[in-house]
Amino acid sequence: MLTLNYVLLFIITYLGLFAGTIISYFTKEELKPGKKYFAYARPVLFSIIFFAYLNFISLNLTISTIFSIIAGIVYYMWGIKSNNYYSDLFAYSLFGIILFETNITLIASLIFIFGLFTASIYYKQKDKLLENLSNIMKRNIVFFIVGILIALF
């Protein structure tokens, strides 16, 4: 069932991509050295989100830790091999499911931060701001589609 709380959390998490693009536009000098840190921070954040979800479904703490570390390593390795597009497709699909199942503000804020990092990595300084916004939002539209489809069915 589609609730107002879920819709608001969903929109706010998707706006992390928008906010990351705007921040990248205004901090172009810091963006280049920061991209290498964002590449390492995203798998860590992916692991934390996955850990929070596993704890939400009441999985054992040890098993949750092991699975979340393995998920972060797999996400990192897959992101290197596939140039991040397919790993982000998987991550945002999973985030749509996690957000619907949990409906927790903490997880929504972590997904928002993940969106900030994602937008900062994909930001192209040679393109204009609106081009970057449309490219980044289109590239990660799967999160929006999965979230709406899950909520409707």
Q: Average pLDDT for residues 30-39, to the nearest whole number?
A: 85
Distance between CA atoms of residues 56 and 129, nearest Å? 38
User: Does 143 or 102 have the greater pLDDT score?
Assistant: 102
pTM, full prediction: 0.88
Q: What angle do CA 55, 88, 106 make, to 5 degrees?
A: 35
Residue 85: its pLDDT value, please?
Answer: 67
Residue 28 has pLDDT above 90, yes or no: no
